[in-house]
Structures are given as C-alpha cells and as structure tokens.
Amino acid sequence: MTTPKLFTPFKAGALDLKNRIVMAPLTRNRARAEDDAPVDMHVDYYAQRAGAGLIVTEASQISPEGKGYAWTPGIHSDAQVAGWKAVTDAVHARGGRIVLQMWHVGRISHDTLQPDGQPPVAPSAIAAEAKTFDGKEFLATSTPRALELSEIPRVIEDYRKAARNAVDAGFDGVEVHGANGYLIDQFLRDGANQRTDAYGGSIENRTRLMREVVEAVTEVWGADRVGIRLSPFSNANGLTDSDPMPLFERVVDILNGFGLAYLHFVEGQTGGSRDLAEGQSIEALRARFDGAYMANNGYDRQMAIDAVETGKADLVAFGRPYIANPDLAERLEKNAPLNEPDRKTFYGGGREGYTDYPALDESAAA
C-alpha cells in the first residue's frame, strides 16, 4: 500500500521537512509575566510536538508596541531570545524543524498592554470590533492612533531586528503574521486603512507595508527560510475589505517576486466556516502562487490526505488537534484516535492542559 504523500518528506524552500504535517501557530498565553519570555514548560511543550514536519510557533510580538494580549511571548529582548533558544535546542534534539511567527497586533490591543499606557497603533484611528485579554478580564480593544508616516520605517526596523533575534534564538526560519486582523492585515484592508499617503488608498499603496516588511525579513534570513500567513477572506477581529479578491491577487503577485519558502492561508473564516462568498476563491489564489502552499482551517485526516494527493496543498497546518495530541503526526499516519482538548486550559495557566496530554504509547500503557 502506497504511503499517502501527507506523510512523506517535503522541501519548502531551504526547509527540509520529514513530513507535510505542520503544527499551526497557537496562542496559549503562558509566557513569563514580567518579561514575556518563554519558560521551561514552553521547552517541553514544543519538544513534545517535534514529530511535525514543521512547527510554527505561537505568534510572538516584535516589539513592546506589538503586544495585544497578556502573557504572549516576544522576540525583542535578550531574555526572550534566551527562552526561545532553549525551545529550538530541544526541538532540534528531537529531529524537528521550527520557525518563529513574527507578530505585531496593531489595533488589537488595549492601552493597559501598551508601553506607558499609550494607545495602540494602526494604519488609521479606527477602533476594532474585537476584544483582548489583559490578564484579568476580556476588554474591548482601545481606539488606536494612526501611525505617522515618519514612524513606519521604525516599525519595519522592528521586524528586521526581530528577524535577527530569531536567528540568534536558533530558529530554522520565520513566518510573517499577515493574517487574522493584525497590523499587516489592517494595512491591507480598506475597512481599517483609510490613509491618504503612500500606505493607503490604492491596492498598491495598501500592500506597501507588507512588501517592505517581507523585504526586511528576507534580507536577514534569505527568502527560502521565510513564509507568510494570510487570511484573505476572514473577518477575524472585525476586519473587512470592500473587495478582497483583487487585493489578494495583487498580494500573491507581489509575494511571487520573493521566492518565499511557503505561503500559508487560513481558508475561510479563522477557526470557523470554510464557506466563501460568491467571487471569492482560495483555489484561484493558490494556483496563482508559484511556491509551496500551506493549507489551514478545519482539516481532518482525510481532508489533508486528499488535499496533498490532488495538489491542492503541499503542506497542511493543524491547530487545535495539536493542543491535545503532541504526537499528532504519528496518530494521523496510524489513523489512531485523537485526545480531546480541554477548552478551559487553552489560554493562560501552567502545565495542566499544556504539557500533560498523553502520547500514543502513554495512552496504551494507561
């Protein structure tokens, strides 16, 4: 019997992967409170999941200004780099590959989470219809202030510095977070971007920040170790666009000019329906992209096998199944039953619901 391609090696850019199963980025809110650094339980959590062909870390803020939730890790300080280095060493010791997802939340934040209690920044001073978590309660996001034109080079430099820090932390590459209503996505979409300068208005202008961020990051890493995640038709965090199909056709055309390791799409609504409106097509965008394509959103075993066999995807990223199944790649290959996740422990807390889910051999012993 032929092994399904999902379980076979794949080369994404410079990344040699032992299978095509990817651990998707999963925010778990367990970084050290005083400095947003990964700690020992992060080391164990990611090492347990090293059987994935590729791990994409939880989103990690590139700067203090890029933070939007309590206890999310950063990649802008020495302590954070040291914390991540322990993680990458452990993953590599188990034969895994791991990339860092680089994050700036833009307007999806609250004054209390920002340096000196300042408003969050965004392309325009338009509040999101979204909530964030400050460590005590869920709060409506604060009304942001619009980034000054003179500030944008500093934001791009923050991405560049974070990319260098990811090198020092021992990662195999990085993924630029351009999805789910955060800063890059906010600049792309006319529902959040009402600027009248070189970063707003036309599609060409609204894609400018994304292009300049990708340029900066690929200058550090080389394009073949950089991926990007986008959510073309998602309204996550209250983000909208009047006509997303031509916008993301242009986005894909721009990305084709870089030769990235992969393009990672959230297909449909983030964590929700895969249905699309009339005129919207993931398949058309995927066909337009010249490189490796990573599919995500609600895939089960058979969907993933079929997507790879038919050429609709090169890689498939699994999110929530990886919370409760550290050995998900092995379970999928063996068609073994999956552990059910405990939703109460998704966000915040300690090792319970984080590093204590059993692997297959442990389940059998029990």
Is 182 marked active-site? yes
- DSSP H helices in 36-77: 40-48
Strand partners, 10: 17
Identify the residue whose tokens are 């998707």.
Answer: 24
Query: What Å distances lie between residue 167 and 43, 150, 212, 320, CA to CA?
Result: 18, 28, 19, 28
Give the other-Cβ count within 10 Å of 247's Cβ: 18
Residue 287 CA to residue 283 CA, distance in Å, equals 6
Residue 248 CA to residue 189 CA, distance in Å, equals 10
The radius of gyration of the chain from alpha carbons, rounded to an integer in Å, stands at 19
Q: Is 102 exposed, middle or buried (0-12, 13-18, 19+ CB in 10 A)?
A: buried
- Of 45, 182, 199, 299, which residue is the catalytic one? 182
> Can you say whether the dihedral through the CA atoms of 357, 358, 363, 366 is positive or negative?
negative
Q: Is the distance from CB of 7 to CB of 20 less than 8 angstroms?
A: yes
Active-site residue set: 182
